[in-house]
C-alpha cells in the first residue's frame, strides 16, 4: 500500500473524532504525512487512556475490508495514468486484433504469448487472430517481437507502443519482450495492448511490483470488462471512465452497500486531489513518482489535461455529483488559457 493510501485509510478511521486536527497536522508537515498519522495515533491512544472509563467511547477498529476496497479503487484510478505523469483518455480496439509473433526461439514462447492474448480477449470480447509470416503486412495490426536479452533496458525488459490517429481508437500496436522475460511480461504487455496504459500500485499484473505475473488477477479482469463495456466510449476522460470502472469493482465486493460508501468517498477525495493537482498545488499519484519515470513535461501537460477533465466532469455531472455549468466553465477556461486545444474547443461549444 502506498503512503497516500495508508494515510487516506487512517483518516477514514478517525475522521469523526478529530478530522480538523489531522487535517491541520497533514497540511503543516506535507511529505511526512505518514509520520503524522503515527503521531496522531499515539495522541489518540493517550487520550483514550486518560479519559474516564465510564464515559469513554470504545476505540474505533480499522476495517481491513474497507482498506482493501479503497486500495482497489485507487488501483483502477492509477490505471488511467501514463507513467510520464499524464492522465489519459480511454483508447481501445474497435476491430479484431490480427497479431504476428516474430523474433527468437518462437516455439518456446508462443504458448505463453497465446495464453496472455486469449486471457485479455476473453474479458474484452475482442477477437485475437494469429496471422502467418505470409500474410500481407498491412493486415497485421499487432506485432509482437521476442528480442535478445541484451536489447532494451534492464529496468524496462518489455515495452508496448500503441498507434492511434486520435486518442480514441487503437489503430495498431507493437510489443517487444526480452527472451528471458517473456513469462513475466506477456500478461503485463497484453493489458497494455488492450489500451490500459497505467502501472498501478495494487494487485494487478500491470504493477511494477506485482504479486503475480503469469495470469490476470481479479482487478485486471474487472478493469478489462469495464474498459470494453458498452457503457464506455472511446475517448472518455478519466472522470467519465471512473464510474464505469467502479461499477465492475463493486461487483467484486462482498458487501455492496458498504462498498458503495467507500466508492462515494473515494470519488470525493479524488476530485479534491485532482483540483489541487490541476491548480499546481497537488501531485500525481504516488506510485508514478515511485516508478521513477515521471517527467516534468509529462506532469506539466497533465495539469492542463486535468483542468479539461474537471471541466467535462462538472459539465456532465460525472464523478463530481450534480452538473455545475459555472464550475465547468471555470475549469475549461483555466485549461484553455494554458493552451489545451480540447478545452478551447469544448469552451467554444458552450457559447
d(CA 307, CA 277): 9
Rounded-to-10 torsion of CA 338, 344, 346, 351: 120
Q: Please report how many Cα atoms fall inside a 13 Å half-sphere around the Cα of residue 274, on the Cβ side.
A: 28
Q: Domain for residue 322, yes or no?
A: yes
Other CB atoms closer than 10 Å to residue 331's CB: what's the count?
26
Q: What are phi and psi of 344, to 5 degrees?
A: -60, -45
d(CA 34, CA 260): 26
The length of the chain in residues reads 351
pLDDT of residue 49: 35
Instruction: Spell out the residues 6+ positions from residue 207 whose beta carbon is closer than 8 angstroms to its own.
Output: 199, 200, 201
pLDDT of residue 291: 87
Q: What is the pLDDT of residues 112-159, one digit of tens each?
A: 999 999 999 999 999 999 998 777 777 899 999 999 999 998 888 999
Q: What is the pLDDT of residues 282-299, one digit of tens each?
A: 999 999 999 889 999 999
Q: Domain for residue 147, yes or no?
A: yes
52 and 101 belong to one structural domain:
no
Pairing status of strand 158-163 against strand 142-147: unpaired
53 and 143 belong to one structural domain:
no
Q: What are the cell numbers at 81? A: 495514468
d(CA 272, CA 319): 11
Q: Domain for residue 225, yes or no?
A: no
103 and 48 belong to one structural domain:
no
Q: Domain for residue 226, yes or no?
A: no
Domain boundary among 169, 194, 219: 194
266 and 319 belong to one structural domain:
yes
pLDDT of residue 31: 34
45 and 103 belong to one structural domain:
no
323 and 243 belong to one structural domain:
yes
243 and 345 belong to one structural domain:
yes
Q: Domain for residue 78, yes or no?
A: no
180 and 243 belong to one structural domain:
no
Domain boundary among 140, 159, 194: 194
277 and 328 belong to one structural domain:
yes
Q: Domain for residue 206, yes or no?
A: no
40 and 102 belong to one structural domain:
no
* CATH number, domain containing residue 156: 3.40.390.10
**Count of domains in the chain?**
3
d(CA 86, CA 97): 27
Domain boundary among 17, 35, 62: 62
SS3 282: coil
Inter-residue contact 253 to 70 (CB < 8 Å): no
Domain of residue 307 covers 238-350
Low-confidence ranges of the chain (pLDDT < 50): 1-62
244 and 304 belong to one structural domain:
yes
- DSSP letters, 151-217, are SSBTTBSEEEEEE-SSSSB--EEEEEEEGGGHHHHHHHHHHHHTT-----SSSSTTSSS-S--SS--
Q: Domain for residue 222, yes or no?
A: no
Cell numbers 484510478 correspond to what residue?
77
Model pTM score: 0.79
190 and 246 belong to one structural domain:
no
Q: Domain for residue 15, yes or no?
A: yes
Amino acid at each position: 500500500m502506498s503512503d497516500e493510501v495508508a494515510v487516506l485509510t487512517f483518516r477514514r478511521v478517525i475522521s469523526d473524532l478529530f478530522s480538523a486536527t489531522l487535517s491541520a497536522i497533514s497540511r503543516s508537515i506535507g511529505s511526512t504525512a505518514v509520520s503524522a498519522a503515527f503521531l496522531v495515533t499515539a495522541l489518540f491512544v493517550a487520550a483514550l487512556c486518560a479519559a474516564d472509563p465510564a464515559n469513554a467511547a470504545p476505540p474505533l477498529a480499522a476495517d481491513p475490508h474497507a482498506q482493501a476496497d479503497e486500495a482497489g479503487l485507487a488501483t483502477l484510478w492509477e490505471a488511467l495514468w501514463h507513467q510520464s505523469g499524464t492522465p489519459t483518455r480511454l483508447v481501445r480496439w474497435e476491430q479484431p486484433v490480427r497479431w504476428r509473433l516474430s523474433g527468437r526461439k518462437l516455439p518456446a514462447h508462443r504458448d505463453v504469448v497465446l495464453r496472455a492474448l486469449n486471457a485479455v480477449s476473453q474479458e474484452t470480447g475482442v477477437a485475437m487472430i494469429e496471422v502467418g509470416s505470409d500474410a500481407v503486412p498491412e493486415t497485421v495490426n499487432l506485432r509482437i517481437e521476442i528480442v535478445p536479452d541484451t536489447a532494451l533496458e534492464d529496468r524496462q525488459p518489455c515495452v508496448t507502443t500503441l498507434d492511434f490517429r486520435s486518442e480514441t481508437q487503437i489503430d495498431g500496436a507493437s510489443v517487444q519482450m526480452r527472451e528471458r522475460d517473456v513469462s513475466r511480461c506477456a500478461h503485463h504487455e497484453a493489458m497494455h495492448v488492450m489500451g490500459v496504459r497505467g502501472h498501478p500500485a495494487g494487485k494487478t499484473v500491470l504493477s511494477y511490483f506485482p504479486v503475480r505475473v503469469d495470469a490476470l488477477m481479479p482487478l485486471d479482469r474487472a478493469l478489462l470488462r469495464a474498459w470494453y463495456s458498452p457503457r464506455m466510449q472511446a475517448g472518455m476522460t478519466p472522470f467519465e471512465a471512473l464510474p464505469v470502472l467502479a461499477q465492475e469493482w463493486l461487483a467484486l465486493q462482498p458487501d455492496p452497500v458498504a462498498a458503495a460508501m467507500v466508492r462515494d468517498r473515494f470519488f470525493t477525495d479524488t476530485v479534491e486531489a485532482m483540483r489541487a493537482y490541476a491548480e499546481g498545488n497537488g501531485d500525481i499519484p504516488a506510485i508514478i513518482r515511485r516508478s521513477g519515470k515521471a517527467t516534468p513535461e509529462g506532469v506539466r501537460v497533465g495539469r492542463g489535461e486535468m483542468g479539461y477533465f474537471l471541466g467535462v466532469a462538472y459539465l456532465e455531472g460525472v464523478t463530481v455529483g450534480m452538473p455545475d455549468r459555472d464550475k465547468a466553465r471555470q475549469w475549461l477556461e483555466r485549461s484553455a488559457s494554458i493552451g489545451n486545444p480540447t478545452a478551447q474547443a469544448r469552451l467554444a461549444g458552450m457559447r
